[in-house]
Amino acid sequence: MPLLRRRAPNWEAMTDEELVGEAQRGQREAFGVLYDRYLPGVYGYCYRLLGEREAAEDANSAVFTKALAALPAFRARSFRSWLFAIAHNVVVDELRGRRATLPLDAAGDMFDPDPSPEELAITAVERQSLESLLPCLSADQQNVVALRISGLTATEIGEAMARPRNAIDGIQHRAVMRLRELMTERSGTVMTKGGGDG
């Protein structure tokens, strides 16, 4: 009787939960698929808040290193929100560490003009306007907006930031209202500057 050969698993077709289970059983390929799946979103989130490629790359590396080390004890409901909770903590630690050394006038230079994968869906003018206004928001509002742009739901953002869903909804609402107010002010200023007899 011939031996049956076991088919190689189709890692890409597996859900996050299945991949986590396989990774916890020692399958390196499974964690590699999770890494590939979430690398762009985690990097984009880190970059939006840290504003420098090198800092975002370092933070990204720290996030996945911490996730791999903590994976054996992982019991959360959602791998994605758990991973972004780690990213949130890494970014907060980095910002705390640089707070004393970052000059205030550097806040305007915090965003890269090149679009991230998530930002490709937003027009260039809207994206630049939004990004230039993010530093005008509170830290919590910046985090919620950056996580939302990274594709997380309000529930996942709450899990990532260790806040209740209704608190996230409130922060997001205030952020949207503030951004609308700032964009209205900006468009009024542009129209005033551009107006005249010509």
Instruction: Supply the pLDDT for residue 120.
Output: 45
Other CB atoms within 10 Å distance of the CB of residue 86? 18
Q: What pLDDT score was predicted for residue 86?
A: 93
CA 106/CA 147 separation, integer angstroms: 22
Res 178: pLDDT? 86
Question: Which residues of 134-181 form beta strands (DSSP E)?
Answer: none
User: Do the Cβ atoms of 78 and 113 come closer than 8 Å?
Assistant: no
The whole-number pLDDT of residue 126 equals 62
Token pair for residue 153?
Answer: 């739901």
From CA 88, how far away is CA 169, in angstroms rounded? 18
pLDDT (tens, 9 = 90+) of the chain, 198 residues, equals 555 555 667 888 888 899 999 999 988 899 999 999 999 999 999 998 888 899 999 999 999 999 999 999 888 788 998 999 999 999 998 888 876 554 545 544 555 545 444 444 444 456 566 767 778 888 888 888 888 888 888 888 888 888 888 888 888 888 888 888 887 887 776 545 545 444
> Is domain 14-190 in CATH 3.10.580.10, yes or no?
no
The torsion angles phi and psi of 152, rounded to 5 degrees, stand at -80, 150
Q: How many CB atoms lie within 10 A of CB 169?
A: 14
Sequence-distant (6+) residues with CB within 8 A of 18 are 30
Q: Are 136 and 166 in contact (CB under 8 A)?
A: no
Query: What is the per-residue pLDDT for 189?
Result: 62
